[in-house]
Chain A
Amino acid sequence: MTQPYYDLDVRPVLRDGGEPFSLIMQAVSALAPGQSLRLFATFKPLPLFQVLGARGFDASAREIGNGDWEVIFTPSGAAAEAEQRTAMADQSGDAWPAPVDELDNRDLEPPEPMVKTLEGVEALQPGQTIAALLPREPVFLFEELEARGHSWRGQMEPEGHFRVVIRAGNPQR
């Protein structure tokens, strides 16, 4: 099971003209073994990548609007840990290919929405994507996708259902 992020928002400090470096280092030393730091800043903190890289953290950054950035520093310790990270909800901004299919699994009784979605995923080539509409946030499906090394992006739609796009990872059985 993955640990929740340690969240640190230094945007208020930066906006007030302050220097958040000591705050960040405090947060880093407060991390549990294997825990990641999620940092919110008003710019892409490139110097920090080097500082924390030297301490064994991998950084992945993405712009979250209004010029703000979300950076996740993951301890690059055990290989298993890293593998788990890549299989998690995909947070990177890179473009995915268009879904090869769009499944509507909203009106199926549980656990059929999950079964049909995974049947679709298993038919994909690595790197291909598939989209599925589900009656609610599919927490057990996420667990299964993670175990199988696939990544996903998803959100609740205003109509009350959940739309997930899944990209097939490298086959691992």
Chain B
Amino acid sequence: MMGAALSRWTMAFFAAALVCLLGAQTMIVLGYGFPSTAVEDPQTLVLVHMVTIGWLSLLMCGALFQFVPVLVAQPLIGAQLVLPALICLVAGLASLLAGFLQLSGDLEIGIAFLPIAGVLLPMGFGLVVVVLGRTLLSGRPLPLPARFVAAGLACLVATASIGVLFASLLSGFAPAGHAVDWRGEALPLHVTAGFGGWLTLTAIGVSYRLLPMFMLSPDKERATGTTVLWSSCAALFLVLVAVPVERMLGGPGAAWHAACLAMLVAVVLYGVDLVFFYRHRKRRNIELNSRSAIGAFAALYLSVALLVALVATGTLGQNIAALVYLVAFGWLSGLGLSQLYKIVPFLTWLECYGPVMGRKPTPRVQDLVVEKRDMPWFALYFCGVLVGTAALLAGMPDLFRLAALATLCATVALVVEMVLVRRLFNVAIAARLPEGTARPRLFLSSSR
């Protein structure tokens, strides 16, 4: 039974992540990458990795450094490795993007950036896995949300390993590379392990704790939650291991069907749990973070419906971009933004007012934000994602860019709001800094 401290670098992770999100959205608006260029074009690769590594992975890592110690009630083990991890990841991402630009011929410098990225990124993610993994190990037996995180970390290792393979193939370091049909065989594994494993499993795990916590719902572990964990892990194992093996041996495709079935069980039961949390909440008026999260959950279920429809009509291949866009921007980014809207004020409140809590009157956490002002931005964001997905499906690139502009505007507004939160801007001046408190720094949380 131990306390958990504020994670010192989490705000820096969030800031770097949000910069990448804004950058990626701006690229889409400017028509950089898909759909102007092909899916496998280096420009699209720049865009995709800006979103997946820059925005989503940095966001998730920053959140987990704060969240895992709370989940397992143990201090973070190896906290001094968090900053090196951030530096490796940011430098590795920059090298990766530079490497892609070299492939497209946009950047002509005689430095081999892809192999550098192939070292820095695994190093950064490796540090993340070591710190979080050791902390999880010290907190056994793990509660359900932490088991999701552990499974997500395993998938992160898989995703990064396949990524390293790609980096060495693309930079011509692997002579045997030509024997591998990397786009047909390995790319779907990379995408599935990344989106379905690392990002989605951890997002689900985090939601199992944050939703009941902020809506005051019962959060005793239920059989449905455990089934979601095991069936999603089974689905991932089947897709990542059993399906390729079966294909190699020339089997009838049973593993793929079993994987689909397991995935459906997982998403249906996850939906059952989500409805349970919202319906059994003790708090009638839920806050904007929990309300806007509904948009993200809707996007998750739309993604599943779209996947089923595309598979059924045999058009998954030509519409994969629309599906990935909906998963990345609707489900994962939507959930990320909606939870940031709570996490940033909460951590800022704790950092600033924790030392005088119970001794002096303090503002409430809700006083750090103005929900009425921000609700339209969340609505605009999710509408933009929906229209953007439809535009991709309908093959209307200009409408897609226009819809992306809407999400960009909404994101800018929410980022401005988070900066204001860190600055305590929305708190009445008289109540802002009681004696014994200090104004939080923008990116670096103070430690006690």
Contact = CB atoms under 8 A, between A and B. Distances in A.
Contacts of A1: 5, 75-76, 79
Interface residues of A, number: 32
A146 B220 CA distance: 28
Contacts of B76: 1
A146 B3 contact: yes
A161 B73 CA distance: 15
Contact residues on B (Cβ < 8 Å of other chain), bracket:
20 to 34
Interface in B57-108: 69-70, 73-77, 79
A111 B346 contact: yes
Contact of B73 (A117, A119, A137): A137
Interface in B265-296: 282-283
A89 B350 contact: no
Contact of A111 (B77, B216, B350): B350
B364 to A, nearest CB: 8
B282 A115 contact: no
B358 A119 contact: yes
A21 interface: no
Nearest to B75: A1
Contacts, number: 78
Nearest to B76: A1
A70 B4 CA distance: 24
Contacts of A111: 346, 349-350, 357, 365
Contacts of A24: none
Contacts of B283: 109
Contact of B75 (A4, A136, A141, A145): A4
Given A111-B365, A118-B358, A121-B358, A140 B220 contact: no
B402 to A, nearest CB: 39
A147 B350 CA distance: 14
A97 interface: no
A144 B359 CA distance: 12
B75 A137 contact: no
Contacts of A39: none
15 contacts: A88-B2, A109-B214, A109-B216, A109-B283, A111-B349, A115-B358, A115-B362, A120-B358, A122-B359, A136-B219, A140-B354, A143-B4, A143-B5, A147-B355, A160-B220
Given A139-B70, A145-B3, 13 more contacts: A1-B75, A4-B2, A88-B2, A109-B214, A111-B349, A135-B216, A139-B69, A139-B73, A141-B3, A143-B3, A144-B357, A160-B219, A160-B220
